């Protein structure tokens, strides 16, 4: 893998979309800080990147804890000498029918999904500000956060998760306006139905209830997608790679939908 001299941090890099993003950005030449609550899976991601010829390190972090996020981001920036892209990917997505929402669920999901995004942005700004734009429009740092198709339209039984993803779109728009003078862009990506371990678990449950296979269960979700299939983590990673690279330098404040045609905006 050729190195481009830049450094990206991915939270929730231990599995699913986060792992795919980390692998894709490493392929594109970034050194990667693989942050995750599960240090073992973060190490697996970093090891896979290293085995493929890339550069990566694993750091354990609870993104709901502001101090931990700052320490984790600092450790990666110190190890690699800089930070160029901060990807706030870590999140929780429990099913929460309106009547079943508890204060505990509400606080936990918001602390991780929304709090983790705030703290990731703050921790990254500290390092981005070490470089000043030499001309108007020059980009010295990029913030990319995980919203969702459920952050574009309300989805049944996702009142808490969806609310956090709508919030991340708002945070992204405000951050774009606040940080543009510093040469920092802020964008979000909005996946639809992605084949992750969590999604496979949901599909398997539906399949078991109907005496069918996992693939049958996944096909039931694909019926809502114009392109006829649910997405792979690599589909989302491709969008994040675009937002991380120079071709998106003139894009900020946006939430790109990557859902195969479920939502038009």
Delimit the domains of the chain by residue range: 7-192+232-258, 195-230
| Strands, sheet with 7-11, edge to edge from the N-terminal-most edge strand | 56-60, 31-36, 7-11, 85-88, 141-146, 184-191, 255-258
For the chain, give the percent of residues with pLDDT over 70: 99
Q: In this predicted structure, what is the pLDDT of residue 217?
A: 84
Tokens of 171: 């945070």
Least confident of 67-71, 114-118, 155-159, 205-209: 205-209
- Is the pLDDT at 110 greater than 80? The verdict is yes
- Is the pLDDT at 1 greater than 70? The verdict is no
- Measured CA to CA, the distance from residue 45 to residue 32 in angstroms comes to 10
Alpha carbon 143 to its chain's center:
10
The residue among 244, 157, 234, 226 whose CA lies nearest residue 194 is 234
Fold of the CATH domain 7-192+232-258: Rossmann fold (3.40.50)
- Residue the block writes with tokens 């450094």: 7
Would you please indicate which residues are annotated as catalytic (active-site) residues?
Answer: 161
């Amino acid at each position: 893998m050729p190195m481009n001299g830049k450094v990206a941090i991915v939270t929730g890099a231990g599995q699913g979309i986060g792992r795919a993003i980390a692998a894709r950005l490493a392929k594109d030449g970034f050194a990667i800080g693989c942050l995750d609550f599960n240090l073992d899976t973060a190490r697996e991601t970093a090891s896979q990147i290293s085995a493929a010829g890339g550069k990566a390190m694993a750091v354990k972090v609870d993104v709901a804890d502001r101090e931990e996020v700052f320490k984790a981001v600092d450790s990666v920036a110190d190890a690699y000498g800089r930070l160029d892209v901060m990807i706030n990917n870590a999140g929780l997505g429990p099913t929460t029918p309106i009547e079943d929402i508890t204060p505990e669920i509400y606080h936990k999901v918001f602390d991780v999904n929304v709090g983790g995004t705030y703290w990731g942005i703050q921790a990254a700004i500290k390092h981005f500000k070490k470089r000043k734009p030499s001309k108007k429009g020059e980009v010295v740092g990029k913030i990319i956060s995980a919203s969702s198709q459920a952050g574009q339209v309300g989805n049944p039984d996702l009142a808490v998760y969806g609310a956090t993803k709508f919030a991340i779109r708002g945070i992204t728009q405000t951050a774009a306006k606040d940080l543009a003078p510093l040469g920092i862009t802020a964008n979000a990506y909005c996946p639809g139905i992605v084949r992750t371990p969590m999604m496979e678990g949901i599909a398997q449950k539906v399949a078991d209830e109907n005496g069918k296979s996992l693939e049958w269960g996944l096909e039931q979700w694909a019926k809502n997608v114009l392109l006829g299939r649910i997405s792979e983590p690599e589909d989302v990673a491709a969008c994040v790679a675009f937002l991380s690279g120079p071709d998106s330098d003139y894009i900020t404040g946006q939430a790109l939908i990557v859902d195969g045609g479920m939502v038009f905006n």
